[in-house]
Amino acid sequence: MTVLILAREIEPQVDRVVEELSGRDVPVFRTDLAAFPQTLVLDARLGPAGWDGTLATERRCVRLRDIRSVWYRHPAHFKFPEGMSRPERRHAAAEARVGVAGVLCSLDVLWVNYPSRESDALKPRQLDVARRCGLRVPQTLITNSPVGIRDFAAVVGGPLAGKNLSAASMVESGHIQTAYTRQLESTDLADLSGVATTAHLFQKFIDDKAFEVRVTVVGERMFAAAIHAKSDAARIDFRADYPSLDYSVVEPPPLIRDGMLAFMRAFDLVFGAFDFAVTTGGEWIMFECNPFGQYGWLEDALDLPITSALADVLQSGARL
C-alpha cells in the first residue's frame, strides 16, 4: 500500500516525511499537480468497486486501489502546454480540476487533510466552532464599518488588535509585504480610512499574554510548543521577529486538549496547527488553527517527533 503525497517539489517538510517513510520501506508516490498533464498521467476507470487505474510519472506508477493515504499539502496548479489560448487554458484547467480532483477525492482513504477542509475552516467559522468546542476565543469583530469599530472599542474597553482574515503577505513595489498583527493606536481609531474598502478583523488585544503556544495536532497526538517572545514586535505577533523567540515544551490543560480534539472532529481535520495565547493567569485563548501549518522549525528547536507522527498516520491510513 502506497502513501500518495501531493505537494510541490521544493517543500522541506514533505522531504522529511518522504525520508521517514522511505526509511520504513513504505512506498511513496510524491507528485506535484503541476506535473499534470505533461508528465503525470492519470488513467482511471470506474468499476464495480469504485475508481481504479493508475497515476504514473516516467519513473513511478501507483495503482489507485493501492493508495492507503493521501497527504495533500498545497500542490501547485496544473501546467499546460505552451501555445494554448487563454480560453483553451481555462477550459483545460477546469477539466483537469474536476477530473483529477474528482477521481482522487473519490478514493476512500485517509486524507491529511481533505482538500476542502481549508475552505471549510475559514477564520470566522473557526472562531465560532472553537467557541462551541469549549475553547475561549478573543472578543471579535468583522466589519467594514468605522462606526462599528469605534462601538466595538467602547464595548471591549481596552486595546484592539487588527489581524488579517486570509493572506498575510503580498508582493507590492517589488517586495514581499507582510501584514502582521497590529495593536491599534489611538491615531488608528481617529483615522479609520480604508476600513470601508473590505472586510476587516479586529479582536480584543490580549494585553496580559505571558506567552504563545503552537500546538501541532496529528491525528490524536499533540505537540505543544510554548513560544516566548523577547521583543516588542514578537510579543504582538511572534512571526515578526523569529530571532527573538525562545521555545519550550508545554502541556495543554485537559479541557484545552478536549476542545482541540472536538475542533478537529468538527472540521474533520487530521492535521492542524493551533495558535494560542496563554495569559499571566494561565488562561488559554485560541487565535486560529491552520490546517496546513508549519511545524519544521519547532520540531528542530524542541526535538518534537512530528514528522514521525505524520508518517505513522500516513503509513497506517488511520488517525491514530
Query: Does residue 83 bind other proteins (CB under 8 A)?
Result: no
CA–CA separation, 161 and 148 (whole Å)? 15
Query: Does residue 297 bind other proteins (CB under 8 A)?
Result: yes
The C-alpha cell that represents 59 in the structure block: 519513473
Please, which residue, 7 or 313, has the CB nearer to other proteins? Answer: 7
Q: How far is the CB of 53 from other proteins (least distance, A)?
A: 19
- Note the residue count of the chain: 320
Query: Does residue 74 bind other proteins (CB under 8 A)?
Result: yes
DSSP 185: P
Query: Does residue 176 bind other proteins (CB under 8 A)?
Result: yes
CA–CA separation, 143 and 198 (whole Å)? 8
Please, which residue, 63 or 90, has the CB nearer to other proteins? Answer: 90
Name, in order, each residue with C-beta under 8 angstroms of 312's C-beta and a sequence gap of 6 or more.
Answer: 218, 219, 320
* Given 46, 47, 106, 169, the residue binding other proteins (CB under 8 A): 169
Unique residue bearing C-alpha cell 474536476: 98
* Given 70, 129, 161, 270, the residue binding other proteins (CB under 8 A): 129
Q: Which stretch binds other proteins (CB under 8 A): 87-95, 153-161, 219-227, 249-257?
A: 87-95
Q: Which stretch binds other proteins (CB under 8 A): 43-51, 193-201, 203-211, 218-226?
A: 193-201
* Given 23, 25, 59, 82, the residue binding other proteins (CB under 8 A): 59
Query: Do the beta carbons of residue 164 and residue 182 sit within 8 Å?
Result: no
DSSP 318: S
Site for other proteins in 240-269 (CB under 8 A): 240, 242-243, 262, 265-268
Element (H, E) at 112: strand 110-112
Binding mask 12-31 for other proteins (x = CB under 8 A): xx-xx-xx--x-----x-x-
The C-alpha cell that represents 173 in the structure block: 513595489
In the three-class reduction of DSSP (H, G, I as helix; E, B as strand; rest coil), residue 135 is classed as: coil
Site for other proteins in 205-224 (CB under 8 A): none
Q: Which stretch binds other proteins (CB under 8 A): 46-54, 194-202, 218-226, 308-316?
A: 194-202
Of 248, 245, 206, 243, which Cα lies nearest the Cα of 224?
248
Query: Does residue 156 bind other proteins (CB under 8 A)?
Result: no
**Rg (alpha carbons) of the chain, rounded to whole number:** 22
Pairing state of beta strands 182-183 and 160-163?
antiparallel
295-307: burial string, b at 16+ Cβ within 10 Å, e else: beebbeebebebb
Q: How far is the CB of 209 from other proteins (least distance, A)?
A: 19
Angle, helices 306-316 vs 12-23, to 10°: value is: 60
* Given 63, 147, 296, 318, the residue binding other proteins (CB under 8 A): 296
Query: Does residue 88 bind other proteins (CB under 8 A)?
Result: no
Binding-site size for other proteins (CB under 8 A) equals 91
Query: Does residue 306 bind other proteins (CB under 8 A)?
Result: no
Please, which residue, 186 or 193, has the CB nearer to other proteins? Answer: 193
Q: How far is the CB of 180 from other proteins (least distance, A)?
A: 6
* Given 65, 209, 239, 257, the residue binding other proteins (CB under 8 A): 239
